[in-house]
Amino acid sequence: MRKFILVVLIIMLLAAIPAYAQQPTPTEQPQPVALAPELMDTGVNAFEARDYDKALLDFSLFILLNPTYSQGYYLRALSHLGRDDADSALADIQQAIDLMPDNPQYGAVLYNLRGDIYSNLERYEEAIADYTEAIDLNPSVELYFSRAQLYGLIEDYENALDDLDAAIAEAPDDPVLFIYRAIINTEMDDEEAAAPDYYRFMQLIETDRIEHDALVDSEPQFVRMNQGVIHQFELEGERNQVVSIVAQGRPGDNVDPLLVLLDEDGDVLAANDDYDQRADSVIIDFQLPSTGTYFVLVSHSLGGFQGEVAVAYQVTK
């Protein structure tokens, strides 16, 4: 699925299982009075210090004394994940779910965690089912986005779009949501729907805009890409003229160009992230709707933002 799979894998790597150590304590939830609560405290301290063996010992002793305490199993599951033991973690999460109190927010934490584990194990259908349980209990932007990624991986694009729409409704200034929705629409061959989202992503990450000389047919200009920078070029065109535009990173540079074409009123006409499974961006054989000035914007996508980019256009008809 071209870029979508690559981006999803990048996000999954960034959210790898050991990262769960960042937040060992779930939302507050009612539990019976615990015996030896100091074991919970020392276990959390060990966990935060990444001493997972000590954390496992403390949480196991706590569970021995409090076998019906859901949070103990949840914390021990996180400790298993710290040791890359997904099977033991899954067993503890099931116990935590079986014993969880009537607290939707806490329940969503448990199902979300198990969904993340299934996702990393590439058990996508099971992950989607758990994300769905979590969303039913306590919907969030993060849950909709996680489920959308998996729908994209199994090529269920309609459901992926529904989840991204729901996430964007709650977080309209999150650039990653827009580029993912653009990627999904691109996978569905709906370039018209994808183009405004690519541009919205570019706007949301913008830190600076640099204006360059007007593009001349078949004469490339070279720009240095940096995070959040948009390079703007004018292009003079005639009605019904067919043009192709390319933004190509220099081989070996860590740069993933993103290309947008605007009319003189600033309305989006076309856009492209990757072309033919390459990081280069190409708008190919686009017919200009009128005679006048157009704007070519070049920035970067999620794959990298450091390096040199060649920008050029050519009249093809």
Per-residue pLDDT of the chain (317 residues; tens, 9 = 90+): 433 333 333 333 333 333 433 444 454 545 567 899 999 999 999 999 999 999 999 999 999 999 999 999 999 999 999 999 999 999 999 999 999 999 999 999 999 999 999 999 999 999 999 999 999 999 999 999 999 999 999 999 999 999 999 999 999 999 999 999 999 999 999 999 999 999 999 999 999 999 999 999 999 999 999 999 999 999 999 999 999 999 999 988 999 999 999 999 999 999 999 766 666 899 999 999 999 999 999 999 999 999 999 999 999 87
| Residue 257 · residue 303 · CB < 8 Å | no
Task: Write down the pLDDT at residue 142.
Answer: 97
Token pair of 106, please? 């806490």
- Return the pLDDT at 36: 93
Query: 236 pairs with which residues across the strands?
Result: 293
Whole-angstrom CA distances from 261 to 83, 91, 184, 236 are: 49, 52, 20, 12
| 32 φψ region: left (φ > 0), alpha (ψ -120 to 50), beta (else) | beta
- How many of the other CB atoms lie within 10 Å of CB of 237? 22
pTM for the model stands at 0.87
pLDDT at residue 19, as a whole number? 40
* Measured distance CA(131)–CA(135) in Å, rounded: 6
pLDDT (0 to 100) of residue 202: 98
* Both structure tokens of 125: 């259908």
Alpha helices in the chain (DSSP H): 3-14, 37-48, 52-65, 70-82, 86-99, 104-120, 124-137, 141-153, 157-170, 175-187, 191-205
CA distance 312 to 218: 6
d(CA 42, CA 78): 15
- Which residues in 43-67 are b (16+ Cβ under 10 Å) and which e? bbebbeeebbebbbbbbebbbeebe
- Rounded to whole angstroms, how far apart are CA atoms 289 and 226? 32
Residue among 265, 255, 196, 195 at smallest CA distance from 231: 255
Q: Within 13 Å of residue 56, how many CA atoms lie on the same side as its CB?
A: 15
pLDDT given for residue 6 in this prediction: 35
* Residues 75, 44 contacting (CB under 8 angstroms): yes
Q: Which residue has the tokens 């999904």?
A: 184
Structural contact between residues 105 and 71, judged by C-beta atoms closer than 8 angstroms: no
Task: Report residue 85 CA to chain centroid gap.
Answer: 25
Helix, strand, coil percent content, the chain, rounded in steps of 5: 50, 25, 25
Q: What is the pLDDT of residue 32?
A: 65
Q: Could you tell me the two tokens for 279?
A: 């990081």
Residue pair 207/227 in contact by the 8 Å Cβ criterion: yes
Tokens read off for 10: 């990048």
Q: What pLDDT is stored for residue 41 in this prediction?
A: 95
Residues in contact with 122: Cβ distance below 8 Å, sequence separation at least 6, in sequence order? none
Helical ranges in 188-309 per DSSP H: 191-205
Q: What is the pLDDT of residue 317?
A: 79
